[in-house]
Chains A and B, each alone.
Chain A
């Protein structure tokens, strides 16, 4: 089972981080990542830049999608990074998630990543096949 651990930080967390020693944060994150690598569960992971000049939102509520600079949701909660892990149970995902070196105001949202078995009844669906083809294109870039 694959799970995505989505890091969310609030304004409070951002403030707390401003005061923290950045090198120490890097070291703690590094140790956490290393522990998941050593356990053979980490498949992917990255941080998301908080330089807002490079980030944007696409709003689909109008007839034509509108690209704007924000806002990023009413709660001002931002995704700041993610990990994808492969584990044997929801409980194991929870155990790993709770070991993340995150502080006050931070939250991890954990979601199971769907796989082909979720769509087994529709294995011959043309659109699903196309979607797989699209993924293929994406990953070969």
Chain B
């Protein structure tokens, strides 16, 4: 990669969201805005080696893209009166069609434009895949090549996803605006969901090397911090950042050098990133105080972050405040009932009060027929039974779990546990 390419990529990283947002406000069309911005990037690659990087590169890109938009409309002016009106209107509002330096200096992107861009990129008409690609591309400023590398798919696939996403937005006539107050909470959910999905894709990815996964999680964190700036009064935005910081703080301790995952209980806690934990706790405190200001309780992400915080501040598994974690899982189960949350609660209960009461929770799930087909339920149940000395049942559960998991390493661990049980003679 040439130096200028790297510089342009760096500028694009910093400016993409604001450039595309400004252009989308101007044209009312995110797809067109992104195309125009990309054309401006191509111009930058050609011109900056000669002219040097401009003083305000974001303004330069915006001005060039804007000129392209107006030129495009000019050409179509002859064909359609509608475009003529648009071009004139734009020239009147946005200054001359030349993008002269005077206009460049006065360029002042507005946060609201970026916010509109966020909501559009995560619009419910788009598939999750498209939301993720578009968000990383226009908000995160990643190139198509970077996206392809991070998601281990060909460049053409990413391009296709982006093109399809733009077409979908255009076909659905999605307006470039923030949602109505009445829809606000319903629309914020998918935005946060997309960011967290990007994070977990990095956090829990089954393929790709560790470095790449960290990179993806860092992108999510970065976008999360951008959202914090845009929506400082939304508790769940701060909470999401808190959750991601706290989970990411364990990155270094989560895998061994050979790639085998290390369970929370076995992690070397001295390798957790303390600075990141401090940042995560600060974000959770911001979430709590903004929730108080709105008279709300902790939301889904805040409760998850609070659970992560309990682990982050505990010196060891035994010194963890498991009673508090049980309470947090209970609260989480109340606002978002989910069998996986219930199973996690069972594990916390076993740590807080012992395996017998935890088994009651797990048996409740079994009675509901929840998590059928998942190895998690029998593996937790087997673990609890073995702690209760009911080895025959425990072995049956662990073997069932081993048969259900798709992960080879996990299967070996479960089989070894099952084989290690001394059936018939209680411990």
Contact = CB atoms under 8 A, between A and B. Distances in A.
Interface string B255-286: 00100000000001011101101110000000
B225 A132 contact: no
A20 interface: no
B229 A129 contact: no
Interface string B145-171: 000000000000000000000000000
Interface in A104-139: 116-117, 120, 123, 129, 132-133, 135-136, 138-139
Nearest to A44: B275
A132 B273 CA distance: 9
A40 B10 contact: no
A62 interface: no
A43 interface: yes
Nearest to A40: B225
B200 to A, nearest CB: 18
A25 interface: no
A117 B226 contact: no
B235 interface: no
Interface in B201-227: 211, 215, 218-219, 221-226
Given A88-B13, A91-B10, A92-B14, A40 B226 contact: yes
Contacts of B353: none
Contacts of A38: 111, 226, 229-230
B274 A140 contact: yes
A80 B271 CA distance: 31
A133 B215 CA distance: 25
Contacts of B211: 117
Contact of A96 (B9, B14, B222, B271): B14
Contact of B270 (A39, A94, A96, A136): A136
Interface of A: 37-41, 43-44, 86-89, 91-92, 94-96, 116-117, 120, 123, 129, 132-133, 135-136, 138-140
B208 to A, nearest CB: 15
Interface in B25-52: none
24 contacts: A37-B229, A39-B14, A39-B222, A39-B226, A40-B222, A40-B224, A40-B226, A86-B218, A86-B222, A88-B10, A88-B215, A89-B9, A91-B10, A92-B10, A92-B14, A95-B14, A95-B57, A96-B14, A116-B252, A129-B271, A135-B275, A136-B272, A139-B275, A140-B274
Nearest to B313: A140
- Which interface residue of A86, A91, A116 has the most chain B CB atoms within 10 A? A91
A116 B271 contact: yes
A31 B279 CA distance: 22
Given A123-B257, A132-B270, 7 more contacts: A38-B229, A39-B226, A88-B10, A92-B14, A95-B10, A129-B271, A140-B274
B427 interface: no
A117 to B, nearest CB: 7
B289 interface: no
A43 B13 contact: no
6 closest A-B pairs by CB: A40-B225, A91-B10, A139-B274, A40-B222, A92-B10, A40-B226
Contact of A136 (B215, B228, B274): B274
A89 B226 contact: no
Interface of B is mostly: helix
B13 A92 contact: yes
Interface residues on B, range: 20 to 34
B248 to A, nearest CB: 11
A133 B270 contact: yes
A115 to B, nearest CB: 8
B6 interface: yes
A129 B270 contact: yes
A10 to B, nearest CB: 24
Q: Most chain-A Cβ atoms within 10 A of its Cβ — which of B6, B7, B221, B225?
A: B225
A82 B105 CA distance: 28
B11 interface: yes
Given A92-B10, A129-B268, A133-B270, A43 B279 contact: yes
Contacts of B11: 95
Contacts of A133: 270
A118 to B, nearest CB: 12
A88 B6 CA distance: 11
A138 B268 CA distance: 18
A85 B252 CA distance: 19
B39 to A, nearest CB: 21
Nearest to B141: A88
A135 B224 contact: no
A70 B252 CA distance: 39
